[in-house]
Amino acid sequence: MKIQTLLVIALFCHDSGAAIMEKGFKSLPAPTSQAAIVEQLRCEYRTDPRGIDALKPRLGWIIRSDRRAERQTAYQILAASTPEQLAVNKGDLWDSGKVRSDEQNQIEYTGQALESQMRSYWKVRIWDKDGNLSDWSKPGFWSMGLLHQEDWQAKWIGLNDTPKPWASPRYLRKSFTVDHSIRRATVYATALGLYELRLNGQRVGDQMLAPEWTNYFKHVQVQTYDVTELMRSGQNILGAILGNGWYCGGWQHWKKELKSMYGAEPYLQSQLEIEFTDGTRQRVVTDASWRGTVDGPLRFSGIYEGETYDATKEMPGWDNPGFDDAAWTPAKVADADLKVGRLVAQRNEPIRKTRELKPVAVSEVKPGVFVFEFDQNMVGWCRFSFRGKTRQTVELQYGEMRNADGTVFLGNLLVVSRHQIQLDRYTFRTDQVETYEPRFTYHGFQYVEVRGLTEKPDLNSLTGVVVNSDCPEVGTFTCSEPLVNRLAKNILWSQRGNYRGVPTDCPQRNERCGYTGDANFFMRTAVFNMDVAAFFNKWLVDVCEDAQMPDGHFADHAPTFGPGDGPNVGWSDGGIICPYEIYRTYGDTHVIREHYAAMKRNMKYLALNSKDDLFTGKIGNGDWLSTGGGADKEVLGTAFAAFDFQLMAEMAEAIGETGDAAEFRERAGKIGAAFASAYIGADGSIKKSSQSGFALAFTMGLVPGPMREAMTARFLEEMRKFQWHPRTGFIGTPRLLPALHLAGLDDAAYEALMTKTSPSWLYPVTVGATTIWERWSAWNGKNARGGMNSLNHYSFGAVGEYLYGMIGGIQPDAPGYKKIQIAPVIRDGLGWANTRYDSIRGRIISDWKREGSTLTMDVTIPANTTATVFVPAKDPAAVTESGQPAAKADGVKFLRMEAHAAVYKIGSGKYHFVANLPPTL
């Protein structure tokens, strides 16, 4: 069976990226051309990362040039132990020499062995297509963390305080003296729970909710901070606040008992390394010499429940020298049998405050009850500046909807008995205006109900703080239909709202898990919105290494917390599909190698749970939340098995496992043949399946050639039957419009996209939605619906792939966008569309506009790439590029006519095509 995915993509060509190093030369010529500029240096996908633990970190860069068809023919990397060495072009850690290669990403450092706490300053220059040498890039940087267990002198510390039932927040401090001139100070920290470090009265770093959620029994992430500027001569105070977080908080809607998942109380581990200018060092570690208290102002913190803060119990100066901590107690060093996984560096971008929003209205809905309204559903918390009275307590209740009386609706929070959720409490210390914001919780909300004030608060007294994983936002899509533009914004807002260390399902009710299904269903949209390479490099450890069950299947959510998590078809397959999408988008073969053994175990599970090449194992949710247009569970199980084997064949080939690749490919063919025999009828129907069945068949390469016409006709019938409404669930929805595209039914895809009545993508927009809903009918614009009904749930937002990848037409034609395809789908309903995507190789733009029968297409392709461009045209001879016949334009090569489009191959640069549209468009 021919391997297909949502779009056919070419396998990575190893020859084109073969590196040949020129050795033996002492010096290289000075730059002779300014045509190419090297910028945006990245190490392990991040800019200047601190405390990494990759022994051969992967490096990459962007090339910018105004010349068409610019490409890199060679590169040189220098890595030095100091900025001074690098400035004089001395690579004492690594001088790659001139490497003849066009690769600019996934380049492994192969210099001097990297050790704990080492620092590396690096830069790169390239040779362009004419052999001219660029200037050196601006310097990049990375530092190593504590790589070995013996490097850690710090202990896990907490306090002797019995949880009731949840542990109270802890305040910890350590006094130490510095009497030398400081060169550099670096602190390595983590916690079982959440922590905020303080040094001499200042917050350390801007990372929130650290460390981010992992299976603490398997591994715990460490954060690294440069605190040189916070240090003082003489006495210093290193302090910390500890909260419950995911480790020991009360959470999970299916856990009715009040029992934490991992541990009963939080612990801190921190190691401050101070380097002095005379070459000596000092180390400050967590141990029994620290002192602490639970009698601070932060009285309670829960990820789900919220925070309680009593300002009357504030301890001014507790994190500064001079504070009297005689009443505090010695820290408790954790018992040797504390169950904790290995310490690892944080791979992904930190959770940060990424933006702030102001409310648009405040109203008194009941005496003394004020509701603030924002014009955007968001995730984070609020900072307030309210005037109160001493010992007066104000409550902030967060929610996504309002009741008929204007109060905040709580019915969709699935509140467990004895739990209060999304509620912050603050007790005033004075009669003056006081300002506060939480630190160890987050809420999903558009409305905030404030109770306990004696006077109406000013509109500007409250600020919404948006908190999410700070993944770079790399894509934009706009078009002539305002509702679709709002849809695109809603998709991005739901991604922001659910990416905090793990890709969660929802941000408000007491669930908020890293569901493997939701993540992989949405992933082709996610990569267009954000650079998620580092994010998924972290989370795929949670999935593939920490959440694989003994029989080989992957759990349906990660981090996981015990047996019984799945299997669940579509969800468990995330352990195969997500690594593949990282490979496809970023050219990342390391992620394949890292998880290859786990993925092979999963394939064995699929094989053992099949009979006659049909999947017979547990299915699970099926096409979750479909409304009549789903698919038979047997069909789903076998379709995903076939698809997994297809993807594994490609990934095995990419890392040189050719024997496995052949075996996987053969098995995929057999499953495909069995699928056709068992489930596809002579009339083109699919057994007990509607839209979702066809969506899977067309996008998973399961449509036999002789049956294509009949299956296309039946697919169209299923769309007509529901008057173009998507009636698919979580599994079918992401593939519905791409499947219609592959079936040649883009007219139907446009009809479905543009439908404004429920169920549809645009219906929520018409009633004011600002995020993606969990259910097609989550709200009618008037009456709130309770139960499992999130208004911020990105799964159905997977339609974003069609916006970027089909309407915009941007797709990788080789892993990592080394080759690009621009093939916009232009139909009635849109007059123009502008799509931008900052790929790992640089910016790609597809900007088309139709005026009558005239089409203009502006295309931008980044340096060191090529593209195949499909220009819809009545007559290829009439197509122009920058005012001249396209076939004769610089850097443009006419290839063929295909499906009413003139197809061209182009190099990097900016292009302006004009064509007469064919009558069919």
Which pLDDT score, from 0 to 100, does residue 808 have? 98
Q: Say which amino acid occupies 700.
A: M
Which pLDDT score, from 0 to 100, does residue 509 have? 86
Taking the alpha carbons at both ends of the chain, their separation in whole angstroms is 33
Which whole-number Å values give the CA distances from 871 to 435, 826, 855, in the listed order?
57, 10, 9
The DSSP 8-state label assigned to residue 7 in this structure reads: S
How is residue 475 written in tokens?
A: 């894509």
Helix or strand (DSSP H, E) at 881: strand 880-881
Q: Residue 5 — pLDDT band, cuts 50, 70, 90?
A: very low
Tokens 């919780």 locate to 441
Which whole number is the average pLDDT over 883-901?
95
Which pLDDT score, from 0 to 100, does residue 29 have? 45
Which whole number is the average pLDDT over 339-356?
98
How is residue 706 written in tokens?
A: 């002789």
Give the contacts of 853 (CB within 8 A, at least 6 positions apart). 874, 916, 917
Q: Residue 589 — pLDDT band, cuts 50, 70, 90?
A: very high
Is 357:447 a contact under the CB 8 Å cutoff?
no
Which pLDDT score, from 0 to 100, does residue 413 have? 87
Which pLDDT score, from 0 to 100, does residue 781 have? 76
Which sign does the torsion angle of CA 885, 888, 889, 891 carry? Answer: positive
Which whole number is the average pLDDT over 816-834?
97
Q: Residue 323 — pLDDT band, cuts 50, 70, 90?
A: very high
Is 239:171 a contact under the CB 8 Å cutoff?
yes
Which whole number is the average pLDDT over 305-331?
97
- Whether the per-residue pLDDT at 32 is higher than 50: the answer is no
**Do you know the residue count of the chain?**
921
Cis peptide before 559 (omega within 30 of 0): yes
pLDDT tens track for 382-419: 999 999 999 999 999 999 999 999 999 999 987 554 45
Which whole number is the average pLDDT over 686-713?
98
pLDDT tens track for 516-532: 999 999 999 999 999 99
Strand runs labelled E in 211-368: 219-226, 234-243, 267-276, 281-285, 291-293, 298-302, 306-310, 329-330, 332-333, 342-345, 351-357, 361-366
Phi first, then psi: give them for residue 275, nearest 5 degrees: -110, 130
Q: What is the mean pLDDT of the chain?
A: 93
- Whether the per-residue pLDDT at 580 is higher than 80: the answer is yes
Helix or strand (DSSP H, E) at 527: helix 516-529
Is 189:268 a contact under the CB 8 Å cutoff?
yes
- Give dist(CA 105, CA 336) in Å, integer: 43
Tokens 């995507």 locate to 837
Q: Is 434 a catalytic residue?
A: no
Which whole number is the average pLDDT over 25-45?
70
pLDDT tens track for 75-108: 999 999 999 999 999 999 999 999 999 999 999 9
CA dihedral 681, 683, 687, 690 (to 10 degrees): 150
Tokens 């194992």 locate to 617
The catalytically annotated residue of 634, 774, 801, 881 is 774
Higher-confidence position of 466 and 260: 466
Kindly report the pTM of this predicted structure: 0.95
Angle between helices 516-529 and 574-586 (to 10 degrees): 10
Tokens 């504070």 locate to 323
For 405-459, the DSSP string reads: TSSBP-TTS-PPTT---SEEEEE-SSSSEEEE--SS--EEEEEEEEES-SSPPPG
Quote helix, strand, coil % in the chain, to nearest 5.
25, 30, 45
Q: Say which amino acid occupies 17.
A: G
Which whole-number Å values give the CA distances from 291 to 174, 237, 294, 499, 715, in the listed order?
7, 11, 11, 35, 68
Which whole-number Å values give the CA distances from 33 to 50, 565, 854, 865, in the listed order?
34, 58, 39, 20
Tokens 């009918």 locate to 777
Phi-psi region of 806 (alpha: psi -120 to 50; beta: other; left: phi over 0): alpha
- Whether the per-residue pLDDT at 28 is higher than 70: the answer is no
- Whether the per-residue pLDDT at 214 is higher than 70: the answer is yes
Which pLDDT score, from 0 to 100, does residue 415 have? 55
Note the helical H segments in 240-298: 245-248
Q: Say which amino acid occupies 531.
A: D
Return the closest-CA partner of residue 529 out of 273, 341, 763, 794: 794
Return the closest-CA partner of residue 64 out of 34, 44, 92: 34
Q: Residue 779 — pLDDT band, cuts 50, 70, 90?
A: confident
For 397-410, the DSSP string reads: EEESSB-TTSSBP-
- Whether the per-residue pLDDT at 24 is higher than 90: the answer is no
The catalytically annotated residue of 511, 650, 657, 801 is 511
Which pLDDT score, from 0 to 100, does residue 297 have? 98
Is 390:312 a contact under the CB 8 Å cutoff?
yes
Q: Is 455 a catalytic residue?
A: no
Which pLDDT score, from 0 to 100, does residue 324 have? 97
Which whole-number Å values give the CA distances from 849 to 643, 832, 876, 877, in the listed order?
36, 4, 18, 20
